[in-house]
Structure 1
Amino acid sequence: MNRPSLLRGVDRAALAVALATRLRAAGVLVSADGPAEFVAALGVTARSRRDVYWAARLTLVTRAEDIPAFDEVFGYAFADAVRGVDPVSSKSRAAGRVSPAEGLSDAGGATVEGLPWLTRQTSMAGADTAETDSALAVPDVLPSRLRVRADQPFEAFDAADLRVIGDWLERTAPRWPQRRTRRREQSRRGRRIDLRQTMRASRTTGWEVVTLIRTRRRRRPRRIVFLCDVSRSMQPYVTVYLHLMRALAVRPRMARPEVFAFSTSLTRLTPALSHRSAEVALARANDRVADRYGGTHLGPAVADLVRGPHGSALRGAVAVIASDGWDADPPEVLERAMRRLRGRAERVVWLNPRAAATGFVPTAASMAAALPYCDVFLPAHSLTGLVELFDELAA
């Protein structure tokens, strides 16, 4: 098979990612595996501009209403392209032409000027401003319809967007933390030599030791205990946190995660959220939590979790508490409960969506009493905040 000559010398992966980024910025719904399929299609048919057009349209466009926006972005990117190694944006600027996509902006707010055909570009949102902006970038695995809204609070999302976020959380859940066990397994990069297995392997080489069998400590997923505040002050974030708790419960490789919700009393939601259907799981969870959107008894809820029948699940686990810190009980109750919780858990992570406000200060007495016992304090009020939570848990 002859090598296609149209895109010779072009970084096809960078081309696919850049084109998908421009299409998403224009409002086109591009699937997560669309760029990979586009690269595969370019390897088969890329001899003419028409071939590239249909390869991109069939792999990157999933809705009929996105075709006009796709044609506009594609026409600007590949207009008057004579050589495959000639960036279109450079030719357009040299000729002094006005881009047909003028006014189109990407996720970082920069004006679209063309495709980086010769340089690799990271698949992160806001890649054009990655060198000047120190903010956390959201991976390209984020749903395309939500990438441009990564920094918006969850209270601005509708039910359909929350359902998409739930699916994304379920796919991202394998990034949860791990722990080292006492058992060992073979590994080429292990530091300890297994003498028994090394001598057994030397039987095939005349009892001459040729290969050293090395081992390392085996790793297992660390248990996560999630405690979510479902009181009225947390109402805009409860749905997303329920999706997050469901992502914990449905993972088959998780070390028996435990999920609890509280408002005026503590309720175990692990069996209800274990259903494969997100709608059924959330409906069951809402039915079990009879006191949702009511008052808040944060201190007694944490105390019930520590001294209850499921308190042993906290030993060596990562305890994640999602609450804004408001409590109807004295702060001394929460402080005593957090002291016992910190003595059992490996790490304590507190999610407070109110902490995203500029100049946030924990004025609530209960929140101030709990902070000394927390290892990580995050807002987790947006998709970017959830990605930061994943990085902290994976660390």
Structure 2
Amino acid sequence: MDADTGGGRFARNVMHFARALRAAGLPVGPGRVLEALKALEKVGIESRQDLYWTLHAVFVNRRDQRELFDQAFHIFWRDPKLLERMMHLLLPTLEGEKEPVPQEEMNRRVAEALAPPKAPGEGEDESEEEPPTVELDAILTYSAREMLQEKDFEQMSAEELAAARREIGRLRLPIMRVPTRRFVPDPRGSRIDLRRTLRQSLRGGGASIDLARKEPRERHPPLVILCDISGSMSRYSRMLLLFMHAITNDRDRVHSFLFGTRLTNVTRYLRNRDIDLALQQIGTLVKDWAGGTRIGACLKEFNQVWSRRVLGQGAVVLLITDGLDRDAGLGLAAEMERLHKSCRRLIWLNPLLRFDAYAPISTGAKAMIRHVDDFRPAHNLSSLRDLTEVLSHPQARRAEGLSEWVAASQTGVRA
């Protein structure tokens, strides 16, 4: 770390550090850099700890940004203990002489932000002058897109997250239509419309009676989304918000709610076509982002305040949460039962299903699994595409295999 502040070299170091944070995904602009320099001038840099917490206070404003800042700080300012900590994590896989930690073991976004830019053609074999064929390029492109579909959101780099965001923006939800209690005229309908038949016969003097038929009117049911934004869901919340925005702008009668320690209705903001503006407004509105989770209390508020407004006409409910409840499932079973009885279908989306050995054994998960109609993952693009297929076709009230999950919640082992 260069402490020569007289020539402005330290200020340039702070500026380059801010650029690295911005490349890693933190919202750091020129104003933040000026604030950081003013704060350092007031606090001083007598120790590395003072420098760390001063920059942390200026550049970090959300809990989910702490890990990125911590890794970027120790790498950029050359913490001598970083390598020791990283090697300690890798001890089971290392033998013999210790080697430097590979860049892939660090946070991918931090590694990409701090990596030096490559010159054109660097790392390529100069002896091969022939360009790749079109067929090879197509195969590689398809392979990259296929890998992106299956990759966990948590493991994606900044570039892959941008590509995933574009893929989510292109998702379309075909309209699932269900019959209602109202009827519309249909010459091939299954029921006879007596009123219209009599009216038509009176117009002709009653000489002939032509039967008029009708059919139940079909309309797609409302869709209600309840998304967990607690700290344990922070790595998936943004991508799931993009998914909610895509669905909201693809069809009508979509109602979206976010919950952590309180319930927030964000339906109006997600209807904005500009996703960046929508997320900015939601970030200002929601006060419990990346905090704790009170699933039972939030569902109780939804059932008492919003249920009768948005769950009419056989609504389908998407409950997106990992089931980790700060209140240890207090009142959760009763609220889940009420929610289940108020909707056509209740689908629980859980990012923890990405683990093969996962079982719903936490107190909150045990209370929830008994009152859902389907249990699905929501951790990558492929799982979101599968969900759109499920919502596009009428399904049975209870999905196959759900009883196995209920049994796993008691034994702790999946069949």
Q: Distance in 2 between matches of 1:71 and 1:195?
A: 71
CA shift for structure 1 position 163: 2.9
Residue 189 of structure 2 corresponds to which residue in structure 1?
190
CA shift for structure 1 position 194: 3.8
CA separation of 1:390 and 1:266: change in aligned 2, threshold 3 A: same
Residue 268 of structure 1 corresponds to which residue in structure 2?
265
Instruction: Give the percent of matched residue pairs that are identical in Structure 1 and Structure 2.
Output: 31
TM-score using structure 1 length = 0.58
Alignment: residue pair count: 259
Q: After the TM superposition, which residues 245-256 of structure 1 pair with which residues of structure 2 at under 5 Å, given as runs? A: 245-251=244-250, 253-255=251-253
Q: Does 1:72 align with 2:133?
A: yes
Contact 1:245 1:273 in 2 (8 A): yes
Q: Does 1:301 align with 2:298?
A: yes
CA shift for structure 1 position 103: 12
CA shift for structure 1 position 201: 9.6
Contact 2:164 2:381 in 1 (8 A): no
- Secondary structure at 2:232's aligned position in 1? helix
- Secondary structure at 2:181's aligned position in 1? strand
Q: Does 1:242 align with 2:303?
A: no
Q: After the TM superposition, which residues 362-381 of structure 1 pair with which residues of structure 2 at under 5 Å, given as runs? A: 362-381=360-379
Q: Does 1:351 align with 2:349?
A: yes
CA separation of 1:163 and 1:182: change in aligned 2, threshold 3 A: same
Q: Distance in 2 between matches of 1:358 and 1:337?
A: 29
For 1:392, give the aligned amino acid.
V
- Secondary structure at 1:285's aligned position in 2? helix
CA separation of 1:282 and 1:369: change in aligned 2, threshold 3 A: same
1:241-299 deviation digits (Å, cap 9, x = unpaired)? 11222234334x523x2211011111111112121111111111111111101111111
Contact 1:260 1:268 in 2 (8 A): yes
For 2:255, give the aligned amino acid.
E
Contact 1:162 1:239 in 2 (8 A): no
1:120-168 deviation digits (Å, cap 9, x = unpaired)? xxxxxxxxxxxxxxxxxxxxxxxxx744421112223434224303421
Q: Does 1:165 align with 2:171?
A: no
CA shift for structure 1 position 384: 1.7
For 1:301, give the aligned amino acid.
C
CA shift for structure 1 position 196: 5.8
Residue 15 of structure 2 corresponds to which residue in structure 1?
none
Q: Out of 160-169 and 317-326, give the one that drifted further.
A: 160-169
Contact 2:201 2:208 in 1 (8 A): no
Q: Distance in 2 between matches of 1:326 and 1:153?
A: 20
Contact 2:168 2:381 in 1 (8 A): no
Residue 338 of structure 1 corresponds to which residue in structure 2?
336
- Secondary structure at 2:189's aligned position in 1? coil
For 1:73, give the aligned amino acid.
V
Q: More helix per residue: 1 or 2? A: 2
CA shift for structure 1 position 208: 6.4
Residue 328 of structure 1 corresponds to which residue in structure 2?
326
For 1:228, give the aligned amino acid.
C
Q: Distance in 2 between matches of 1:299 and 1:339?
A: 11
CA separation of 1:268 and 1:214: change in aligned 2, threshold 3 A: same
CA separation of 1:207 and 1:150: change in aligned 2, threshold 3 A: farther
Q: Distance in 2 between matches of 1:182 and 1:69?
A: 67
The structure number with the bigger radius of gyration is: 2
CA shift for structure 1 position 347: 1.2
Residue 230 of structure 1 corresponds to which residue in structure 2?
229
Which of 313, 316, 319 is matched with 1:318 structurally? 316
Contact 1:186 1:214 in 2 (8 A): yes
CA shift for structure 1 position 312: 3.6
CA shift for structure 1 position 334: 1.0
Q: Pairwise CA RMSD of aligned residues?
A: 3.2
Tell me, which stretches of 5 or more residues in structure 2 are unaligned? Answer: 1-128, 395-415
CA separation of 1:376 and 1:189: change in aligned 2, threshold 3 A: farther
Residue 79 of structure 2 corresponds to which residue in structure 1?
none
Tell me, which stretches of 5 or more residues in structure 1 are unaligned? Answer: 1-67, 75-100, 110-144
Q: Distance in 2 between matches of 1:226 and 1:308?
A: 15
Q: Distance in 1 between matches of 2:130 and 2:296?
A: 53
Residue 288 of structure 1 corresponds to which residue in structure 2?
285
Q: Distance in 1 between matches of 2:259 and 2:235?
A: 16
CA separation of 1:167 and 1:195: change in aligned 2, threshold 3 A: same
- Secondary structure at 2:324's aligned position in 1? coil
